[in-house]
Amino acid sequence: MRIFLKLAACTLLLMGMAGVVYAQTNQAIVEPGEDHTPVKLEEQATLGQDFIATQAFNSLLLPLPTWSTTTSGFTFTLRKHGPSGEVVFTQDVTNAADNKSEFQIPEQGIGRYYAEISQPAGQIGWWTRGDVYERGTAYSNGKPVIGNDRELIISLEP
């Protein structure tokens, strides 16, 4: 009976610890906030954000405004090692959801990355804030936009 109780207690403890680990899988690179401004993606242009992932991740959430339209689209690209690095994921998006573009990607490890949107269809943009992220910066047309960051959340989903 004592062994059963010890096993049950250990199981509950491990389940509780797993819940704590799962709760810590989101990493807000640039937290969405009220002090943000939508920057529209123009034809033949790109918008991006470089960042350091301090945890493995397989999901990215970009709160991209569509100005409440339902026919906006774009191409999303994720690069490893920064803006000129190796492309690890790309996806064309049609009928983007307003403020909720989420990407399921192959699991990526800790390191430097660059997220970019390009090739707009309709109205699409990226919520941008003042410089709140010390480990990266916003980009426009492949060039850093000093003093700005674009909202981005990464997570590791089971």
Q: Find the CATH number of the domain harbouring 76.
A: 2.60.120.380
Domain assignment present for residue 16? The answer is no
Within a domain: residue 2?
A: no
User: Per the domain annotation, does 151 fall within a domain?
Assistant: yes
For residue range 3-51, list pLDDT tens digits in order.
533 444 444 333 343 333 344 378 899 999 889 999 999 999 999 999 9
Output the pLDDT for position 56: 96
Secondary-structure percent of the chain, ordered helix, strand, coil, rounded to 5: 15, 50, 35
Cβ atoms of 153 and 49 closer than 8 Å: no
Contacts of 121 (CB under 8 A, 6+ apart): 71, 72, 73, 74, 94
Residue 86 domain-assigned? yes
pLDDT in tens, 66-76: 999 999 999 99
Report the mean per-residue pLDDT for the chain. Answer: 87
119 occurs within a structural domain? yes
Q: For the chain, what is the domain count?
A: 1
Nearest of 53, 72, 64 to residue 116 by alpha carbon: 64
Residue 139 domain-assigned (yes or no): yes
Which residue(s) pair with 1 in the sheet? none
The pTM of this model reads: 0.83
Q: Is residue 83 part of a domain?
A: yes
Tell me the residue range of the domain where 110 lies: 27-155
User: In 3-state terms, what secondary structure has residue 8?
Assistant: helix
Residue 19 lies in a domain: no
